[in-house]
Amino acid sequence: MLRPGRWRGVRHSTLARAALAVALAFAAPLQGDGCACNHAAPASLEERECSLCLEAEKQSRGADGDFPVFFLKDASPRKPNRTLALPVRHGQGQQDMRQLTPAERALFWKAAMAKAQQLWPDAWGLAVNADTVRTQCHMHIHIGKLNDGMCDPDGLTVATPDHLPAPASGCGIWLHPVPGGLHVHLNRDIAEPVLMR
């Protein structure tokens, strides 16, 4: 951190570039109904925020009544240890967990947990970011190894994925296994930093 007396040595153009970078970083997430994805217009799915919708379009829909889930490695080179769980089914606009029935949410979580256990046996975590910080329209769960020491004592413990609550409107959630069940942390903004990059 720069002490007050050291500001004279920093060029104004450097500060301006840094301020612009911060502003752009906060402008990137989707805001409200800002999703541009239109499944009837395939060209719209070429937009960055629609890239996961484009991947979902490539998947097999499965039998009626199923809730198929597919997995992708996170495309960010800064997150080499991350995997995403995504439902094949998707609709217009930004999607979130509250649009699923309780049974569908449980199936989604169970699929993500099975993959997490395969990748990071007993050391995994799952995270969903709040709507205000998401950069993709398509609903997805981040899968990764839980960072050491990441356990908020204010979490809620549930026995099974069937008991997981839906996040509050627009809020994020993260969870991890504990003896006898799952430790759930609700009402988060950026939830995924609890996972190893």
Domain boundaries, given as residue ranges, for the chain: 32-194
Residue 34 pLDDT: 63
pLDDT higher than 80, residue 65 = no
Q: Identify the residue whose tokens are 């960010």.
A: 76
pLDDT higher than 80, residue 187 = yes
Residue 24 pLDDT: 29
The answer to whether 86 touches 55, Cβ cutoff 8 Å, is yes
Residue 108 pLDDT: 96
Residue 141 pLDDT: 97
Residue 3 pLDDT: 32
Average pLDDT over residues 92-103: 86
Among 9-23, 65-79, 145-159, the least confident range: 9-23
Average pLDDT over residues 87-99: 84
Residue 124 confidence class, pLDDT cut points 50, 70, 90: very high
Euclidean distance between CA atoms 5 and 155, whole angstroms: 43
pLDDT higher than 60, residue 10 = no
Question: What residues contact 145, with CB distance under 8 A and at least 6 apart?
Answer: 81, 119, 120, 123, 124, 125, 195, 196
Cα dihedral sign for 120, 157, 132, 87? positive
Residue 169 pLDDT: 85
The answer to whether 84 touches 134, Cβ cutoff 8 Å, is no
In sequence order, the β-bridge partners of residue 182 are: 158, 177
More confident residue, 10 or 102: 102
The rounded mean pLDDT for the chain is 81
- State the architecture of 32-194 in CATH terms: 2-Layer Sandwich (3.30)
170-185: pLDDT as tens digits: 899 999 999 999 999 9
